[in-house]
Chain A
């Protein structure tokens, strides 16, 4: 298994690098193109949270193999101001004072599992997982 991929996030150009790395890694791990796009979109949202709220941070990507299933884990870490009320930002009616805030909620819709741990003044870590789905059509066609 390959080592994890790390992308330093300082500017919005790094966000593009991170989401493209996420897409490539997802495809390499055998995810469908649609799932790879879900993952890239979720990465774009959490990377934006880093550049907007924390200034800088890091996104790591790692393949997962657990109980016979394969997946991808994406971790976004920053040492920014933190999120005072995590459950609030995961609600669908949350809009932050600068008009953002759909990001984390969107990531919950696109990924299978998401965990947000945050300590005010110390930073935020978002961990999201996507499991590789059974490709029914591919399996029937013998291409899955």
Chain B
């Protein structure tokens, strides 16, 4: 899976490296949820700057991650959504329920620490 997930103290940083297939989106979702439980993380930043699109399936999967984390008391911050991808999501009517968003990794970590 073209995603790296690093543990940094109480937080996880998941970085998507390239466009993802649906199978890889599911792997990303499951790997994050598994690690949040394993490490008792209180926050996750998911960097999606490398995603070429966010369609209904990717949006639903990211929302599931955020909702599940929220139920465990962990925050999810999705960072790096490309401007064109954001316009397409908006036109489509896709939302990332229960997720925070931020411009980049640095801003995402600030969301977790404040």
Contact = CB atoms under 8 A, between A and B. Distances in A.
Contacts of A38: 87-88, 91
B23 to A, nearest CB: 6
Interface of B: 19-23, 52-57, 82-85, 87-88, 91-94
B91 A110 contact: yes
Interface in A24-76: 33-34, 36-38, 40-41, 44-45, 48, 51
Interface string A95-106: 000001011001
A26 B74 CA distance: 40
Residue with the greatest number of chain B CB neighbours at <10 A, chosen from A11, A37, A100, A106: A37
- Does more than half of chain A's interface fall in helix, strand or loop, or is it mixed? helix
A124 interface: no
Interface residues of A, number: 26
Interface stretch (A2-10, A12-20, A82-90, A113-121): A12-20
A98 B93 CA distance: 20
A110 B88 contact: yes
B84 to A, nearest CB: 4
B55 A106 contact: yes
